[in-house]
Amino acid sequence: MSTAQTITQIAESLNDSLSLRSPPNQANNAPSSDPQSGYRYAHLLPAFPKDEHYPPLTPFDHIDPAARALSHPNQTAFLDKAQSVIEITPNLGTEVHGVNLAQLDSDGRDQLALLIARRGLVVFRDQQEFIDRGPDFYLEWGRHFGRLHIHPTSGHPEGYPELHLVYKDANATFNFERDDSITTTLWHSDVSYELQPPGVTTFFLLSQPTTGGDTLFTSQISTLKRLSPQFVAFLKTLKAVHSGVEQAEFSRAGKRGGVVRRDPVEHIHPLVRKHPVTGQEALYVNRQFTRRIVGLKREESDTILRLLYDHIDRSSDLQARVKWTPNTVVLWDNRNTAHSAIVDYGDSKERRHGARITPQAERPIPAWEGLDLSA
C-alpha cells in the first residue's frame, strides 16, 4: 500500500473489494451468484478512526483462570465429550474435535486455560457458533482470561477497539507488509513491549484463501531446554528491552492505517520467564519487538540475540503448523510460545480476514528470582 494512500482511500479499496467478491462461505473467496449480496462479515472489517487516542495502560492484578482449574477434581472435564483429542507434536499443540467452545461454562474455560498453559497451543475445529455469536460475545469470552488489550495501531471493527484484526485482500493489506525481506516469517509474541503482555489469546479466520495462510507456532519452553545448562543459567541473569516504537512509526508512515492510538512504550522483561501456574520456564525474546539486552555492549547483545533468534527460526522439530479450515478457533499462550503468519497466498488475491481476542496477563516473572527488572 502506498504511503500516500489516505484512510479514505483504504476504506474505498475495501468497499471496492467487497462489491467484487461476496463469498457465500469462509473456505474461499469465489464470487457469489449475486455480487451485491454483501460480505457476511462486513461488520467486522477493519476501521481506523482518526480521533482515537487512549491514555497509557496502567498496571493491574491478573488472576490466572488456569490456577483455579488446579483445584478441580477433573482438570480436563471439558474434554470428556470430545470426539477426539490429538497431540499435534510431542512438544506443542493439541487439536480438539467435538467440543463447542461457545457452550463452555466458567469451569470449562478455566480448564481450557490450564490445558493451554500446559500445551502452549490448542486448536478447535467446527466452531461456527462461536464465530457467529459476534463481537459482544468475543469480548465477554476474552474477559474471562484477563483484561482486554487495545492494539495501538491495528484495524478493529467499528465500535470494538478491543478486537485486533488481521486483513489482506487484492486491494488492501494490513499487518502483512514484508516487501523488504526475502521471507514473510517473523516470529513474535504479541505486543511483548507492554508491561503486562498477553497470556491466553484467541484467534480465528472469518474468511481465508483456498490454500495457504497457515500459522506457525513454536514452543519457547522447548527452545530453552535445547540450550546448555550453563548458557541457560547465564540467560536467566539477563533482561531485555521490548519496544513498540518501530510499530508505531510504521503506522505513522501510512503503511498500517496511519493511526497510533496510544503513545508507544518500551519495557524491560527477563530473557527467561516463569509461568505463574505451571512453573515452566520459557525463552522470552522475539525478532519483532526485542531490541537489546540491558547491561551488555552492543556487539555482545547483538550476538546473543542473533543466536537465540536463529535457534528459534531453525528449530522446526519444536514447531507446529496450523492449517486453517472454516470455523477453526485457535488459542495459545503468549508467555511460552511464539508464532508467525505465513503469507504465501499473495498471488491468489483472495481475502484473509482474522480476528484476535487478546487478554493481558501478569508482568513477566523472571526464572531467576534475583533478577532486578528496573532499568
- The confidence score (pLDDT) of residue 77 equals 97
Contact criterion met (CB below 8 Å) for 217 and 92: yes
Contact criterion met (CB below 8 Å) for 284 and 273: yes
Contact criterion met (CB below 8 Å) for 177 and 256: yes
- The confidence score (pLDDT) of residue 27 equals 38
- The confidence score (pLDDT) of residue 258 equals 81
pLDDT tens sequence across 65-123: 999 999 999 999 999 999 999 999 999 999 999 999 999 999 999 999 999 999 999 99
Q: What is the DSSP letter of 156?
A: B
**Within its chain, how far is the Cα of 64 from the centroid?**
18
Please state the rounded mean pLDDT for residues 193-203: 98
pLDDT tens sequence across 31-61: 333 332 489 999 999 999 989 999 999 999 9
d(Cα 169, Cα 317) in Å, to the nearest integer? 32
Q: Single out the residue of 4, 2, 17, 14 nearest to residue 48, CA to CA.
A: 14
pTM of the model: 0.89
d(Cα 99, Cα 203) in Å, to the nearest integer? 17
Scanning the chain, the segments in alpha helix (DSSP H) are 7-20, 65-69, 106-119, 128-132, 135-143, 220-225, 229-235, 245-250, 298-314
3-state helix, strand, coil in the chain (%, to 5): 25, 20, 50
Hey, CA dihedral for 263, 268, 272, 278, is it positive or negative? negative
Please, what are the domains in the chain?
83-366 (3.60.130.10)
Grid cell digits, residue 29 = 473467496
- The confidence score (pLDDT) of residue 178 equals 62
